[in-house]
Amino acid sequence: MVHLFISFLSQQLRTKLTYDSQGNVDWNVVGNCLTSRIIEEASQVKLEDGKLQLEEGSEWKYSFKENNVFVLEKKQRDTPLKGFMGCGVIGLPVNEIAKVLDDFGTVFLWDKFTMDAKYIRVISESETHKDFIAYRCFVATRCFFKVTRDACYYARSKFLDDGRYVLTSMSVADPKCPPVPGLTRMKIFSGTGWLLEPYEGSRDQTMVTYMGHSDLVGFPPIVINLGMKRFPMNIYLLRRFLEHSTSNSRQRLSSEGTTLGVNQEQGPCSSGDDETSLKDGAYEDPIPLCSFTATDASLL
């Protein structure tokens, strides 16, 4: 019932960030809401004995299967841009995979869509979560078609009490992450992120779910949908990287990645460090973000 209520709210309300008494964004509320959305959407899809099962009444539709990754799509309200979901199993514990998703130092080694990535600032951090602003530059190719876009986004990385892990994100404007001359800034909408959970009760197998809903900006919706449909295949790329590396080698590669361009202030898609007067806040989101109060943290 909780998830149904969250879903109802998210379809009824426009995106409105919650502000505290000092006029600052209440990122805890935003993070709770984004996390709830990922959990609610992922709960509609299950993998049992390697077979895909959809919850009755779910609006997610099967699209294709490739390299043991199931890809689904969903028509969104008030926008022709579709949401996409990928589901697959990786033979490692949740915490091992989460370390890689949290590590910008190795992202280039498995995510072929990312050209540049770095933390802009950490908002809050504890043993179980991190709220932060980050920058990424993406490149997508299909046949003779190539597009480069960048994004400034808020993200929450969080381990849940039941052993699951969630990484969720949404575009924001931040004065330390201004637009880059010559690059078009894409929009990452709520409902974008990762969910890791033990697969069929095993600690050594993880059900990995990726969800993506973004606007590449500057292209017709049909072109954007074709490009975004491939993003869930990051599950396969992540699995391949993990299967061909060890925990120690990944730690070494992460350190080397930082010296080879990852997280550097200037790079092929660097956002630089020029201050601007951009207001700290989110883009208008065609998939409405639920508006919670601080007490709703108990839902997670």
pLDDT tens digits for range 164-215: 999 999 999 999 999 999 999 999 998 899 999 999 888 899 999 999 999 9
**pLDDT by residue (tens digit) across 11-69?**
333 345 555 555 578 898 999 999 999 999 999 999 988 899 999 999 999 999 999 99
Arithmetic mean of pLDDT, 115-144: 87
Structure tokens at 219: 């292209």
Q: Residue 235 — pLDDT band, cuts 50, 70, 90?
A: very high
- Give the pLDDT of residue 176: 93
- In the block, tokens 């959990």 appear at 39
Residue listed under structure tokens 């006029």:
23
d(CA 168, CA 96): 18
- Mean pLDDT computed over every residue of the chain: 79
> How many other CB atoms sit within 10 Å of the CB of residue 36?
26
Distances (CA, A) of 39 to 6, 117, 193, 199: 10, 25, 10, 15
* pLDDT tens, residue by residue, 251-260: 666 665 543 3
Secondary structure (H, E, C), the chain: CHHHHHHHHHHHCCCCCCECCCCCECHHHHHHHHHHHHHHHHCCEEEECCEEEECCCCCCEEEEEECCEEEEEECCCCCCCCEEEEEEEECCCHHHHHHHHCCCCCHHHHCCCEEEEEEEEEEEECCCEEEEEEEEEEEEEECCEEEEEEEEEEEEEEECCCCCEEEEEEEEECCCCCCCCCCEECEECCCEEEEEEEECCEEEEEEEEEEECEECCCCCHHHHHHHHCCHHHHHHHHHHHHHCCCHHHHHHHHHHHHHCCCCCCCCCCCCCCCCCCCCCEECCCCCCCCCCCHHHHHHC
pLDDT bin (cut points 50, 70, 90) of residue 137 is very high
Higher pLDDT, 262 or 39: 39
pTM: 0.81
For residue 73, which of 64, 152, 145, 292 has the smallest C-alpha distance? Answer: 64
pLDDT for the residue numbered 265: 40
Asked if 45 and 53 count as a contact pair (C-beta separation under 8 A), the reply is yes
Is it the case that residue 74 has pLDDT exceeding 90? yes
